[in-house]
Amino acid sequence: MTTAHHEDRLSGQIQFILEIDKLKRVLRRNLLIDGSRRENDAEHSWHLGMLALVMAEHAEPGVNLDRVVRMLLVHDIVEIDAGDTFIYDVVAVEAQEAAERAAADRIFGLLPGDQATEFRALWDEFEARETPEARFAKALDRLAPIMANHHNEGGTWALYKVTARQVREKVAIISDGSATLGAFAVDLVETSVARGHLAP
């Protein structure tokens, strides 16, 4: 490997690292657990990485936990260009897909070719939700806002007029990735309904 080649690689890697700093400014709909402000995508991605490490034993046996963590660190980077989409806004979710693919091309494309391919593959795998790793990662991504809303007297559910029926559909995705966490999410949802924090 020549020095010039080496420097080219580092330069692309640095550009990518500087670019993804913008994820700290992409706001999600849901609030922090203490309700004080909206959460951003970067801190959300960290929290999901920790959730994966802590909840590992509730994944399907044999799941490659480190791949789950990598997928979660990468999963929202496309939102730097494409923005956050509220998962209960069906029309927006469909329109979002092309924008996210273009974002993945541009942002992962800042990296040296082999790494662009590697990171893009992590994101594609997460989106496709076909591997046990992706199912577990997606389950955690769905669980986190339910936990936040449950602790915020309904939080964004009330604000955006989301009903329990809609939330239960998302809970099915959690159960696909982890039976234990699916059951836990059902408890949170039904408790929120019982408390009047989520419309039935």
Told to check if 36 binds its own copies by CB under 8 A, we report yes
Give me the least distance between CB of 161 and its own copies, in Å please: 25
Candidate residues 16, 88, 126, 157; the one interacting with its own copies per rule CB under 8 A? 16
Alpha helical stretches, state H, the chain: 3-20, 41-55, 65-74, 79-82, 90-108, 113-128, 132-151, 155-159, 164-177, 179-194
Size of the site for its own copies (CB under 8 A): 46
CB 71 within 8 A of CB 155: no
Told to check if 146 binds its own copies by CB under 8 A, we report no
Site string for its own copies, 66-105 (x = CB under 8 A): x--xx--xx-------------------------------
Distance between the two ends of the chain, CA-based, in angstroms?
Answer: 62
Q: State which residue, 43 or 94, has the beta carbon closest to its own copies.
A: 43
CB 78 within 8 A of CB 122: no
Please give the structure tokens belonging to residue 23. Answer: 């994820």
Give the strand pairing for 38-40 and 27-31. antiparallel
Give me the least distance between CB of 90 and its own copies, in Å please: 29
Cβ neighbourhood burial of 193 (10 Å; 0-12, 13-18, 19+): middle
Q: Which residues bind its own copies (CB under 8 A)?
A: 6, 9-10, 13-14, 16-18, 20-25, 32-34, 36, 39-40, 42-43, 45-47, 49-51, 53-55, 57-58, 66, 69-70, 73-74, 111, 115, 119, 147-148, 151, 180, 184
